[in-house]
Amino acid sequence: MSIYNYLGGPLAKKTIFNKYFNAKTSKSLTKQFGGLCILYGWLYIDKLGLKAQPQRFQVHSCGNDPMRALIFGPMLLGFTGSSFIGLFTLWWIPFGSKPYPLTLLFLVLIGNLTFLNLQPLWDRMAPPKLAYFDRQTGKVGYTFGIPGCDERDEFGNCCFDWRDMQCSLINESTSQSGSRAFFPRLSHKNIDKYPQTKMTIVVTELAQNPIYCLLFWERLVRFMDNTKPLPDIPEYEGYRHLDSITAEFDKHNNRPEVYWRDMSFAQQTEVYDELYAEAYKIDWYSDEPQPEITKPWLRWTPEPERKQTLNWKYKAKRLFMQLTCGIP
């Protein structure tokens, strides 16, 4: 596999693997139960309406956005503190001779709960730096200012033509652990004139295999090709009828109205793992493009009985994550 031939230059705007997938679960359960996060609903406020139109926009957070450290830093501290408390408790039960240090336990819990409820406020006061890719207009917009940018989109934000954007595969150290990882770096092709367009996309927190980056780029390139229907993946299922080309294709393809939504998130993850294993076997540099999966219902059968429900187990899991890591 000649992955490393991609390092050092822009990736071509073409697709090789052609098997797009991204597991996605419904937000209905999380919206019904916010747990201990009082302002949980604020996390779903979408001022521009970008996330409510996935058939038109792909939205990506800038990996070098300082807000990431403000969000994920306390989560890491909370997880570390909770892990220490857990290990200490396991030691204290058989060997502890002094009273259990409840003060330390309360400090960790209070810290996680405080951060948990600060997240919605930070999101309102300092919105993240985002780039959004508009399939309908063929533009790439930014939610922050770009010096020298003259064109504005319907939201009043700076935007550029998709054909002027490029992506490079980079390998650098992560700020959290110091280990090396792969990242796709998007920017305007005239990076000297528009240096602020450079955005490092975090496709996964530990992208030690570049395939994650190539899969991300293929999915974005395919999404921006508005001459073809949207790929048949979970995130677009409820919105396919809103894209005219996709709606017409589905009609002739006899696509069932509901397919991915009958799958649990766990089953979708299994599909993703299966496709990832296939992606690892191909030569991304020299293999011929593979055919798309246009009728996934002939390959995978949904198991609705595996879908998660708003029961006590789900609520207990959410509360546990909030108390131990501060995750909303």
pLDDT digits (tens, 9 = 90+) for 155-198: 999 999 999 999 998 877 665 555 777 888 999 999 999 999 99
Give the residue-averaged pLDDT of 227-254: 95
Q: Tell me, what's the pLDDT at 65?
A: 62
The Cα–Cα gap between 152 and 156 comes to 5
**What is the strand order of the sheet 130-134 is part of?**
57-61, 130-134, 139-142, 159-161
Q: Above 80 in pLDDT, residue 299? A: yes
% of the chain beyond a pLDDT of 70: 90
CA Rg value for the chain = 22
Tally of structural domains, the chain? 1
Q: Phi/psi at 254 (nearest 5 deg)?
A: 55, 45
H-assigned helices in 225-264: 244-252
Q: Of 107, 37, 130, 63, which Cα lies nearest the Cα of 321?
A: 37
Give the residue-averaged pLDDT of 78-102: 86
Point out the least confidently predicted range of 166-170, 261-265, 309-313. 309-313
Q: Above 80 in pLDDT, residue 62? A: no
Q: At what angle do helices 102-125 and 312-325 cross, to 10 degrees?
A: 90
Q: Tell me, what's the pLDDT at 100?
A: 85
Q: Tell me, what's the pLDDT at 92?
A: 86
Q: Tell me, what's the pLDDT at 190?
A: 94
Q: Tell me, what's the pLDDT at 3?
A: 47
Q: Tell me, what's the pLDDT at 66?
A: 64
Give the residue-averaged pLDDT of 202-221: 82
Give the residue-averaged pLDDT of 107-114: 90
Q: Which domain holds residue 42?
A: 3-325
Select the highest-mean-pLDDT range: 85-99, 189-203, 216-230: 216-230
Model confidence at 28, in pLDDT bands (50, 70, 90)?
low
Q: What is the mean pLDDT of the chain?
A: 86
**Cβ neighbours around 271 below 10 Å, total:** 18
